[in-house]
Structure 1
Amino acid sequence: MFRQVGSVFSFLTIMPTGSSDLQIVARYMYLFPLVGIVIGLIVGSAGYGLSLFLEPLVVGLLVTAAFVLITGIHHIDGLADFADGLMARGTREKKLQVMRDPSVGSAGIITLVLYVGGMVISLSSMNGFDMLVAIIAAEIIAKFSMVLLAGIGPSAWEGSNSSFVSSMKDKRKLILAAGITVASLLALQNNSAFFALAVSMAISLIIALVSRRSFGGISGDIMGATNEMTRLASLLVFISV
């Protein structure tokens, strides 16, 4: 099991903790929330420490950068691609072609600016232990949201994403991922975490519906975009509730 967790962790971060074979990672996708705990602890602890002696806006910027760097920029790149694909006019095939284009268009750039701004603002509105708890919860929820999306949405095309979608059609794995998520959030003893979970699940459902209409299903880029959007949504819940 430790080898499998290491493979999943290596896939979701820049840390070489094991083989990142896609078939193994897809089979154990339900462990994503566990990786969220570790990422949340690392980034949250850094944020907690920085908030003790740096200005809030500086902390927000540094923590946002930490999130982007530790995940290897993969998910935020997916967010930009998803935005470009959604804004493209034409058939599903045209939208898919735009989303898979490695270059970033104007929609992607604007989305990234709004995302980074939202992250910095939300994180700069927290400090100390509250920031630590919010970051851990947000990262757990973001990882579960990807699992949920794979469980409820069809694959947009046959590719690397297909094995993840196929794996999560096993409802036992989806239930196990949900159990890990709920148990982890219960341990944080913060009611805002469950409100954030509810909001993020709703966002995941909307993304699944929009993706099916626009692209015919979901892809790796869309799962990455879901990770970023639900993380930001969770942090916004924490500063609003």
Structure 2
Amino acid sequence: MRNLLPFFTRIPVKGDFERVKNELWALPLLAPLTSALATLVLYLKLPLSNVLALLSLYLTIGLLHLDGLADWADGVMVKGDRERKIKAMKDLNTGIAGIFAVVMVLFLQVYSLPFLPFYALYLAELNSKFAMLFALATKKPLGRGLGAYFMEGMNGRQLAIGTVLYLLLLLPIVYIEPLSLASLLGLLAGAYVVHLSLENFSGLNGDCIGAVAEITRAGALLGMAVVWQVI
């Protein structure tokens, strides 16, 4: 798992890039680490804890996935054929669709947190990391970037181990609080991002994987907030 940290977080450790694609099964194990500081902020109930928690999260994971979300949204929203959409996604300039997507994802997360228990961000991160694993398992690379490199190492064994780890990390929380199952709504959102990516680009690259991570986390928090308030 140590080799994943430099590429999926800002935690200052060294990793072997050549081994990353063979350790993708450990992505769910990153969730307790990436959400630790944010969860502590929420547990302590600090002033503006929802804002501080989200800042703490991005301090830990960085802004790479948010950048990918912006590029992905620009590509999906532009009118035209597949080539034009891919060109828009790879454009260095962020368009209005990308800005809107980032603002909405941040807003939904900040807005949802005050309605949820302190461990909600951990659940959202767990689903986010598992959704990334699921997206890589599609084995539908777009281009020859990092996304394609990681997909080269994905196989049924990695997905199976990752799924078992995901369930082991999820089920104890669900046993204590059954409403935590609402976090699975985030996976549906992530699966829809994968569907849109395949529909618009005929494959997935690093930007698509980043969009899956961000939208899954926001969807999990929003889904839990709605269920918690209704029930």
Shared fold (TM-score, shorter chain, > 0.5) = yes
Unaligned runs of 5+ in 1: none
Q: Which amino acid aligns with 1:195?
A: A
Residues 194 and 31 of structure 1: is their aligned pair in 2 closer, same or farther, counting only changes over 3 Å? same
Establish whether residue 229 from structure 1 lines up as the match of residue 229 from structure 2: no
Number of the residue aligned with 1:15: 11
The amino acid across from 2:127 in the alignment is: I
Question: 1:196: which partner in 2?
Answer: 183
Q: Which residue in 1 is equivalent to 2:50?
A: 60
Shift of 1:182: 0.5
Tell me what 1:149 maps to. Answer: 135
Cα deviation, 1:67-111, whole Å, max 9, x if unaligned, reads 222112011111111111111122212211111122211111111
Q: Is the 8 A contact 1:156 1:212 kept in 2?
A: no
* 1:140 maps to 2:126: yes
- Cα contact 2:130–2:163 (8 A) shared by 1: yes
Q: With the length of structure 1 as denominator, give the TM-score of the two structures.
A: 0.87
Who is 1:160 aligned against? 146
1:118 corresponds to: 108
Deviations 1:128-174 (A, max 9, x none): xx22x211111111000000011125011222211212222x11110
Match of residue 186 from structure 1 = 171
Partner of 2:22: 27
Q: Figure out how many residues of one structure are paired with residues of the other and give that number.
A: 225
Name the counterpart of 2:38. 43
What CA distance in whole angstroms lies between the structure 2 residues aligned with 1:192 and 1:215? 36
Q: Aligned partners of 1:110 and 1:39: how far apart in 2?
A: 25
SS at match of 2:35: helix
State TM-score, norm by structure 2. 0.91
- Secondary structure of the residue that 1:27 maps to in structure 2? coil
SS in 2 for 1:210: helix
Q: Using a 3 Å threshold, how does the CA distance of structure 1 residues 64 and 158 change in structure 2: closer, same or farther?
A: same
User: Could you tell me whether the CA contact under 8 Å between 2:145 and 2:206 is conserved in 1?
Assistant: no
Taking the aligned partners of 1:177 and 1:62, their CA distance within structure 2 comes to: 30
- Aligned partner letter, 2:180: A
Identity, in percent, stands at 27
CA–CA distance in structure 2, aligned partners of residues 193 and 182 of structure 1: 13
Shift, 1:191, TM fit = 2.1
Amino acid at match of 1:65: L
Output the aligned Cα RMSD: 1.6
